[in-house]
């Protein structure tokens, strides 16, 4: 079996690749598991060294729209599954409208057209986002988001993701691909560097203090957020590829499971893990641009459809932090409590 | 004030133009009414003679995508309001996927880009459709559709209209246009010829018998449909242009008011107006292709948001038929009861 991951050199893409390689095989849409022979990582940048050194990994480095237009990009035709994770992130899309329309709107359409043209009907897992939901003074959202809540995006990123869901649904209904859209929750704790996502600080406010570095916490303590760990997020993406059509159900996007907590509770969990030295590194200067986006996102979900697929929430955010510490020992400089 | 109507030579576009010309002025988004100096009808075909003969009417005949790409199409820049009615219809889009993507998806995006590039921020009324709603075995919809029901389109036409709503919402949020999306109900009785819409028979089953001609009624008698007359539909489009931002409310599309009745009740209303001679002309041969689309559409709505804008439903379908008879005397050949 051959697999393509767009955005495959990014944090989630690389982690998904490692998870698939470690498993060695994948069951697609209810079919018996098949060994994974090749995973092509499509990204603007080269994959991390550990992946680049694996003989089952191929890298297609370049702009996704170019890769989709390239006649000699043969990996599209041989892919039994495509995980479409590549995207411009929320903050970028709000600052640069054309970038978002090119990277999210046009690229997702171009991907679907390329796959349709092949006639191979691959499984396509599309990573959408909780950012499809948004409240505003004119458009309040329910206190708890359910599987059938109407998305009313309040950012260009959210609109572009929601449009991607609609395209995936119709290309699936027409039999061009076997698409499954999953809405990722706010992923924390992401390792590595900050990015242009408005949600970037939800990881930075944990990761940076653990490294002994000051970090921005630009929103009020009572800001509620729906979080999932990297591990739970990858489980959701893989599960979306695995289940058969009947279990998957409607073509509407699936809200992944999340835990709800406030930014203050996140800081308290950090303090339980690494003491007041850690939380003293948090810089509480408000950032209006980030607040404007983040405050539109809902913080509480009920996800019975995901639960019926066997997907679980994290046990606690403290446990999520401890998992991060265990998985990223080189990035943690402060002493950690047992 | 200058106005553009895409699809302006079609039935609804031409009726909208006549309504605006008869009024002579328009209040846009809460501003004081201004006299209408020019209405440009963009369409593949020339306008009807009565409109072509009015000095305030201009015709831009050609493909909408071409008209949007034409640098010398100066009417875009001078338009204070654009009514975007042009579309490939539901049956066509299901039979020819590329046609629908070009005429609905690409053209709506191109229109928004053209208007954005002008910097004139016109009022844009986008005609969406109840076809954004759809039920399927995996995705039942509520018995009554409300203003915040999640659309789950079951046709390419419905998907393309729903994507158009999202684009209009974000281009509005960004301040590129002042967009208002309205979801048209099934419009009946349309005069003229059948078209490629799956809903075409909802008019044909009244119009053709009144003309003494046999007509297809290809769905079961108990098929429930949410109908609005041409007059109520045009009122909704004009009202969407008129109200100020606060009264309009959220950027989510507005469901227009409708009356719910079955196809059997429609036939009974026809019989009350024109007797059993009329209903004897109905041909009850089922058409699976039409049934497949129509049966996914919901037949019952509650539209409090539209009601709050002062929009009304038709008094009865019998009255709608009598209005058709009065407005189209040359097309009615059977004797009509008082």
A195 touches chain B (CB under 8 A): no
pLDDT at B196: 83
* Residue A138 predicted with pLDDT over 90: no
Let me know: does B39 contact B85? Beta carbons within 8 Å: no
A46 touches chain B (CB under 8 A): no
* Residue A122 predicted with pLDDT over 90: yes
Give the model confidence (pLDDT) of A152-201 as tens digits.
999 999 999 999 999 999 999 999 999 999 999 999 999 998 888 889 99
B146 touches chain A (CB under 8 A): no
To which residue do tokens 């024109």 refer? B274
Inter-chain CB proximity B252 and A139 less than 8 Å: yes
Instruction: Give the SS3 label for residue B278.
Output: helix
Bridge partners of residue B59, in order along the sequence: B41
Residues A320-334, mean pLDDT to the nearest whole number: 97
Inter-chain CB proximity B156 and A170 less than 8 Å: yes
CA–CA distance, A134 with A140 (Å, rounded to integer): 8
Q: Nearest chain B Cα to A135, which residue?
A: B250
How many CB atoms sit inside 10 A of residue A83's CB?
A: 27
Residues B249-253, mean pLDDT to the nearest whole number: 95
Give the model confidence (pLDDT) of B281-329 as tens digits.
999 999 998 998 888 899 999 999 999 999 999 999 999 999 999 999 9
Inter-chain CB proximity B136 and A250 less than 8 Å: yes
Q: Nearest chain B Cα to A142, which residue?
A: B148
Inter-chain CB proximity A251 and B138 less than 8 Å: yes
B250 touches chain A (CB under 8 A): yes
Q: How far is B112 from chain A (nearest CA, A)?
A: 12
ipTM exceeding the 0.90 mark: yes
Residue with the bigger pLDDT between B56 and B294: it is: B56
pLDDT at B93: 94
Q: Nearest chain B Cα to A174, which residue?
A: B156
Give the model confidence (pLDDT) of B91-138 as tens digits.
899 999 999 999 999 999 999 999 999 999 999 999 999 999 998 888
* Residue B338 predicted with pLDDT over 90: no
Inter-chain CB proximity A162 and B159 less than 8 Å: no
B244 touches chain A (CB under 8 A): no
Inter-chain CB proximity B251 and A162 less than 8 Å: no
Angle CA(B230)–CA(B235)–CA(B236) in degrees, nearest 5? 100
In this structure, of A274-278, A291-295, B5-9, B223-227, the range with the lowest mean pLDDT score is A291-295
pLDDT at A276: 97
Chain B residues whose beta carbon lies within 8 Å of the beta carbon of residue A148 = 150
Q: How far is B115 from chain A (nearest CA, A)?
A: 15
A159 touches chain B (CB under 8 A): yes
pLDDT at A131: 95
pLDDT at B150: 96
Structural domains of chain B, with CATH? 2-184+229-255 (3.40.50.720), 201-224+259-302+309-331 (3.90.25.10)
Instruction: Give the SS3 label for residue B112.
Output: helix
CA–CA distance, A110 with A228 (Å, rounded to integer): 30
DSSP class per residue in B294-321: HTTS---B--HHHHHTT----S-HHHHH
Inter-chain CB proximity B153 and A169 less than 8 Å: yes
Q: What percent of chain B has pLDDT over 90?
A: 93
Q: Nearest chain A Cα to B246, which residue?
A: A138
B145, B170, B181: which to substitute to probe chain A, counting the most A Cβ within 10 Å? B170
Q: Nearest chain B Cα to A252, which residue?
A: B152
Q: How far is B152 from chain A (nearest CA, A)?
A: 7
Inter-chain CB proximity A163 and B159 less than 8 Å: no
Residues A268-293, mean pLDDT to the nearest whole number: 95
Q: Nearest chain B Cα to A149, which residue?
A: B150
Angle between helices B107-118 and B156-173 (to 10 degrees): 10
Is A75 marked active-site?
no
Q: What percent of chain A has pLDDT over 90?
A: 93
Q: How far is B28 from chain A (nearest CA, A)?
A: 20
E strand intervals along chain B? 2-6, 25-26, 34-35, 38-43, 57-61, 81-84, 123-129, 178-184, 186-187, 215-216, 224-228, 254-255, 259-262, 282-283
Q: How far is A101 from chain B (nearest CA, A)?
A: 10
Per-residue pLDDT band at B195 (split at 50, 70, 90): confident
Q: What percent of chain B has pLDDT over 70?
A: 100
Chain B residues whose beta carbon lies within 8 Å of the beta carbon of residue A152 = 250-252
* Residue B246 predicted with pLDDT over 90: yes
Q: How far is B140 from chain A (nearest CA, A)?
A: 9
Inter-chain CB proximity A163 and B166 less than 8 Å: yes
Inter-chain CB proximity A152 and B251 less than 8 Å: yes
Per the prediction, chain B carries an average pLDDT of: 96
Chain B residues whose beta carbon lies within 8 Å of the beta carbon of residue A250 = 136, 138-139, 152
Nearest to B131 by CA among B169, B98, B170, B87: B87
Q: What letter does residue B103 receive in the DSSP assignment?
A: I
Phi and psi at B199, nearest 5°, equal -85, 0
Phi and psi at A181, nearest 5°, equal -100, 130
A154 touches chain B (CB under 8 A): yes
Per the prediction, chain A carries an average pLDDT of: 96
Inter-chain CB proximity B97 and A153 less than 8 Å: no
B109, B166, B180, B292: which to substitute to probe chain A, counting the most A Cβ within 10 Å? B166
Chain B residues whose beta carbon lies within 8 Å of the beta carbon of residue A249 = 138-139
Q: How far is A272 from chain B (nearest CA, A)?
A: 41
pLDDT at A196: 83
Q: Nearest chain A Cα to B161, which residue?
A: A166
Give the model confidence (pLDDT) of A305-321 as tens digits.
999 999 999 999 999 99
């Amino acid at each position: 079996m051959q697999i393509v991951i767009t955005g495959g050199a990014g944090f989630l893409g690389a982690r998904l690749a490692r998870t698939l390689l470690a498993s060695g095989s994948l069951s697609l849409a209810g079919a018996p598991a098949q060994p994974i022979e090749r995973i092509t990582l499509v990204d603007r940048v080269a994959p991390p060294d550990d992946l680049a050194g694996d003989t089952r990994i191929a890298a297609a480095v370049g702009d996704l729209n170019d890769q989709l237009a390239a006649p000699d990009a043969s990996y599209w035709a041989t892919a039994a599954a495509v995980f479409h994770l590549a995207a411009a992130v929320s903050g970028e899309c709000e600052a640069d409208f054309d970038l978002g329309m090119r990277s999210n709107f046009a690229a997702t359409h171009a991907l679907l057209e390329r796959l349709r043209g092949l006639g191979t009907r691959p499984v396509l897992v599309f990573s959408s986002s909780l950012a499809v939901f948004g409240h505003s003074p004119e458009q309040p959202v329910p206190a708890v988001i359910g599987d059938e809540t109407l998305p009313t995006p309040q950012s260009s990123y959210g609109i572009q993701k929601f449009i991607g869901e609609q395209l995936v649904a119709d290309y699936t209904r027409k039999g061009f691909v076997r698409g499954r859209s999953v809405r990722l929750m706010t992923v924390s704790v992401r390792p590595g560097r900050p990015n242009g996502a408005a949600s970037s600080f939800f990881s930075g406010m944990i990761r940076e203090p653990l490294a002994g570095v000051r970090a921005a916490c630009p929103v009020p303590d009572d800001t509620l957020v729906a979080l999932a760990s990297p591990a739970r997020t990858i489980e959701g993406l893989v599960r979306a590829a695995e289940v058969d059509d009947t279990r998957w159900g409607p073509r509407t996007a699936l809200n992944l499971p999340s835990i709800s907590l406030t930014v203050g509770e996140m800081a308290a969990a950090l303090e339980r893990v690494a003491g007041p030295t850690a939380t003293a590194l948090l810089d509480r200067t408000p950032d209006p641009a980030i607040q404007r986006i983040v405050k539109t996102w809902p913080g509480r979900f009920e996800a019975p459809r995901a639960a019926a697929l066997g997907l679980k929430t994290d046990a606690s955010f403290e446990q999520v932090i401890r998992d991060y510490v265990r998985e990223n020992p080189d990035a943690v400089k402060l002493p950690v409590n047992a």
